[in-house]
Structure 1
Amino acid sequence: MAWNLSRLCGRVPRTVSISKLTKVLAQFYSKFEVDVMDDFTSQLMQRKIDKWDLQKRKNDALIENVKVEEKEAQEVKIEGLGNEQLAFLLQDAMDNDDRELVVNLINLCVEHNRAPPFNILVNILSMCSQNGDKDSVYRIQKLCKDHYAGASKQNSDFQHFVAEAIWVKGDVSKALEIFEGIYRDNAYLRRRIRLMLKYLIADLVSNRSEAALWNIIKFSQRILADFQDFFPLTCVWQACFLSEWFTDQCTALELLEKNNGLCKYVVNRIPYVVFVSLKSHRTEVVYRLLEILLKYKMKQQYSSVVGSLLDYQFRYGDFQSCAEIIRWTIENDVALPSNQNIKMINLLLNEKMKTPLAPLQPKRDDKPKYNLKF
């Protein structure tokens, strides 16, 4: 037995390799550090979640309290709110598109001379002006003058929001007068005014107000003459060109003929016009656009529009129209975006229609042909 024990003890190493010990300890401490970090991260995230849940419950409670109908209760609540809580209530009301609550809160802010954050006031101004709420716009104007005098002055006392509200209410002539005054006096707001006019003009043309349209054209021409800014006029052109009414379409053509240089600036509108027209399956609008592009010798844009029209017809399986478009482009020396696409369509058309197509080699002719037969 003793002999066996001695043999066994002899097999057990008296020393441990330093390299092995280092490796084992490194693995141990690495695992230990990972466990500690995981535990710390989990605790930190849990504390954050608990904090967010608590704040959300508080905010929900505040919202429910503010929605009480009695005015006295509302007055008490808004008097006790901090700036962050007031800002949260206003933002939540805007996110939920609760215009009535927003207006009520703004009225209370005016009564108690409380000023929400400036960026929230600007967002509320935009919301009220787009809905034609002039009274609320005037109240917010007063808040901004009292609490943000510098920013109010820089933004011309937010008169452009007043103009938008007046426009929505139907007095386009008065609104244009305000817009023009701000445009001339405050270069800082010109970009904002352009953005407003972009949507207001489109809405006005769709509502068929010829007198107002005439006023807008005159306004746009004055801006063009004094500041070389084509933007308002291009908005008028686009709205009239997309209109379903023949008189508006004629107005779009007249604008191009009477305003030198406008054609160059409407180029940026062409992709949108084509997209909207084809999306609503109004191919006749695209054909009219092609006639204009040919008339003003804008072959680069013409090729792009023809390519979009060809893709549209191909997508909806109108192979006859595809064949006619391809033949017409070849006869008039109009390059399509890709020869590979033409070959593919040729193959499909041959298979579907069993009729040969015109050769792909273009026929050059010194005299351009403008008659569109597809």
Structure 2
Amino acid sequence: MAMLTRRTSPGSPKVLQRFQNCISFLWQPLQSVSTQTHIIQRQSTQTDSIDCFTNELVNRSTKKWNELRDSLLKNTNNKSELDPIYKEQNDMVSTSFVQDVKILSKGVVNDMQAIRSPQLGLDIRSLSQAQLDNLLLSTVEIKNKPDFLYLIRQCVRHQQLPSSNVLLACLKYLMQLCRLQQIESLAALCELHAHPMLKVYANFAPFKAMVLWRNGSADLALMTLHGGYGDCAEKDEGRRMARNVFRTIVEETLAQKSEAVLVSLMGVARSIYKEKRDIFVVACVWKQCFASDWFSDRKSAEDLYEHYKELQQLVARRSSSLCSSFLRTNNVDAVHRLIETFLQKDQREACSNCLSHLFNHQYLRSDLSACAEIIKSCSELDMPLSATQNEQFLSLFLNKPRTAIARNIGMHQPKLPITEFQYKF
């Protein structure tokens, strides 16, 4: 009985076990609440850190922008004392700042444009001739249209011209931009200074004609070019520029299949030849019409070829370059028709050149049938090909590798007499 009635001591292990069992159902919720509280506190700490970092970045950017703008506006008030080189540095800093911070909103872009307005622009009166030339050439090379046009306006306003080479580059760039007003302003300024380029390019007629053509005024463009072609032809530079513009207009006219403009072009070409005896403009129209896929264009080319003896002589002299031009675009049909044209006029040397170029073209394509036809035609016309070309045909016919033949072609060997080959087809 004594053992049954003995009380358990408070510090015994059994008492602790019973106490733990009693509170075990409370431990798990308490632990969960503690973990969630810790996570919430950690998330709150991270959010606060990100917010602080973002706010700090925005404040620094805003402060830097305000400082930069205040500095620029301050320089605006003192623009009479501002050095041009310092202005360029401010423009570079503002541009780099926008690129770095990536401020692309419309309002900021408008602010930047306002800040870079002519109030803070460069005054060319403080520049030397070399500095002005370098600035204009730089804007032309990197195609910086806004700054280039601003400098041109400054030149016209203050009546200052760049050097001749730079002026020519500016005129070509204005022609690409289709800026007729600026070209006319430079022409008036050159007339004021009695600049020699104004006479070389006939009051800049080729540049004006190209701009008018690109703007859709075809008749006015042809009239302008026709009026200034005679004066441009007196100097090599002017004649070269006028011919390039005329060639471009002819090529674009045939590409657009404009019958009305083609008729006007042929009229201008005939008039120029009649006035200046310049067959080049007629040859430009003939070449494009001859290479065309349209029957009406080919008929126009045939009429021109029959009418002008000088055109026949010019085409015969340039038979090799014409064939190369046609074959670069794989226009074999045009070469065949050119050979027929030469045969009709008994221009044997020009015909032989065309056959030689055509054979080389077909040999590089490994076209045995086409090469055999050319060899046969040369034999019938008594226009033998070179010994090298005959060897090439034999190697192609016997299906031999072309490396050895190509190696012999590349070596500098003296010209051998043409060996006659007898083929039986």
> Which structure has the bigger radius of gyration?
2
Say which of 137, 151, 172 aligns to 2:218. 172
Give the C-alpha shift of residue 103 in structure 1: 1.8
User: In the aligned structure 1, how far is the partner of 2:87 from the partner of 2:134?
Assistant: 8
With normalisation by structure 1, the TM-score equals 0.71
Q: For residues 160 and 361 of structure 1, do their structure 2 counterparts lie closer, same or farther at Cα, with a shift above 3 Å needed? A: same
Q: Per the alignment, in what secondary structure is the counterpart of residue 116 of structure 1?
A: coil
Give the C-alpha shift of residue 161 in structure 1: 2.1
Aligned residue number for residue 285 of structure 1: 334
Q: Per the alignment, in what secondary structure is the counterpart of residue 335 of structure 1?
A: coil
Say which of 375, 384, 395 aligns to 1:326. 375
Aligned residue number for residue 88 of structure 1: 134
Query: What is the identity, as a one-letter code, of the residue corresponding to 1:251?
Result: S
Say which of 387, 412, 423 aligns to 1:339. 387
- Aligned pairs for 1:114-125 (under 5 A) are 114-125=160-171
- Are 2:183 and 2:208, in contact at CA under 8 Å, matched by a contact in 1? yes
User: Does residue 226 in structure 1 map to residue 275 in structure 2?
Assistant: yes
Query: What is the identity, as a one-letter code, of the residue corresponding to 1:360?
Result: F
My pick for the range that moved more, 98-107 or 183-192, is 183-192
User: Does residue 209 in structure 1 map to residue 263 in structure 2?
Assistant: no
Tell which has more relative contact order, 1 or 2 (C-alpha 8 A, sep 6+).
1
Query: What is the identity, as a one-letter code, of the residue corresponding to 2:215?
Result: K
Aligned residue number for residue 29 of structure 1: none
Q: For residues 292 and 151 of structure 1, do their structure 2 counterparts lie closer, same or farther at Cα, with a shift above 3 Å needed? A: closer
Q: For residues 149 and 305 of structure 1, do their structure 2 counterparts lie closer, same or farther at Cα, with a shift above 3 Å needed? A: closer
User: Does residue 243 in structure 1 map to residue 292 in structure 2?
Assistant: yes
- Are 1:66 and 1:74, in contact at CA under 8 Å, matched by a contact in 2? no
User: Does residue 299 in structure 1 map to residue 345 in structure 2?
Assistant: no
- Aligned pairs for 1:47-126 (under 5 A) are 61=89, 64=92, 69=113, 70-126=116-172
Q: Per the alignment, in what secondary structure is the counterpart of residue 156 of structure 1?
A: coil
Q: For residues 146 and 199 of structure 1, do their structure 2 counterparts lie closer, same or farther at Cα, with a shift above 3 Å needed? A: same
Query: What is the identity, as a one-letter code, of the residue corresponding to 2:308?
Result: N
User: In the aligned structure 2, how far is the partner of 1:87 from the partner of 1:172?
Assistant: 34
Q: For residues 172 and 269 of structure 1, do their structure 2 counterparts lie closer, same or farther at Cα, with a shift above 3 Å needed? A: farther
User: In the aligned structure 2, how far is the partner of 1:179 from the partner of 1:117?
Assistant: 25
Give the C-alpha shift of residue 74 in structure 1: 4.7
Give the C-alpha shift of residue 217 in structure 1: 0.9
Aligned residue number for residue 366 of structure 1: none
Aligned residues: 300
- Are 1:160 and 1:179, in contact at CA under 8 Å, matched by a contact in 2? yes
User: In the aligned structure 2, how far is the partner of 1:155 from the partner of 1:198?
Assistant: 17
Q: For residues 239 and 60 of structure 1, do their structure 2 counterparts lie closer, same or farther at Cα, with a shift above 3 Å needed? A: farther
Aligned residue number for residue 360 of structure 1: 421
- Are 2:209 and 2:225, in contact at CA under 8 Å, matched by a contact in 1? yes
Give the C-alpha shift of residue 294 in structure 1: 1.3
Q: For residues 65 and 216 of structure 1, do their structure 2 counterparts lie closer, same or farther at Cα, with a shift above 3 Å needed? A: farther
- Are 1:331 and 1:362, in contact at CA under 8 Å, matched by a contact in 2? no
**1:271-298 Cα deviation digits (max 9, x unpaired):** 3332232222221221121111211111
**1:132-169 Cα deviation digits (max 9, x unpaired):** 32122112223322334454355433233222221222
User: Does residue 163 in structure 1 map to residue 212 in structure 2?
Assistant: no
Say which of 127, 140, 147 aligns to 2:173. 127
My pick for the range that moved more, 314-323 or 104-113, is 104-113
Aligned residue number for residue 241 of structure 2: 192
Aligned residue number for residue 256 of structure 1: 305
Query: What is the identity, as a one-letter code, of the residue corresponding to 2:174?
Result: C
My pick for the range that moved more, 148-157 or 313-322, is 148-157
Aligned residue number for residue 37 of structure 2: none
User: In the aligned structure 1, how far is the partner of 2:352 from the partner of 2:281?
Assistant: 27
User: In the aligned structure 1, how far is the partner of 2:171 from the partner of 2:185?
Assistant: 10
Q: For residues 318 and 137 of structure 1, do their structure 2 counterparts lie closer, same or farther at Cα, with a shift above 3 Å needed? A: same
**1:285-340 Cα deviation digits (max 9, x unpaired):** 2112111121111111111111111111111111121112111221222222x123
User: In the aligned structure 1, how far is the partner of 2:323 from the partner of 2:196?
Assistant: 44
User: In the aligned structure 1, how far is the partner of 2:293 from the partner of 2:327?
Assistant: 14
- Are 1:131 and 1:168, in contact at CA under 8 Å, matched by a contact in 2? no
RMSD of aligned C-alpha atoms? 3.0
**1:51-84 Cα deviation digits (max 9, x unpaired):** xxxxxx9998598489873223453454543332
Give the C-alpha shift of residue 90 in structure 1: 0.8
User: Does residue 144 in structure 1 map to residue 183 in structure 2?
Assistant: no
Q: For residues 60 and 268 of structure 1, do their structure 2 counterparts lie closer, same or farther at Cα, with a shift above 3 Å needed? A: farther
Q: For residues 58 and 323 of structure 1, do their structure 2 counterparts lie closer, same or farther at Cα, with a shift above 3 Å needed? A: farther
Query: What is the identity, as a one-letter code, of the residue corresponding to 2:294?
Result: W
Aligned residue number for residue 396 of structure 2: 348
Aligned residue number for residue 8 of structure 1: none
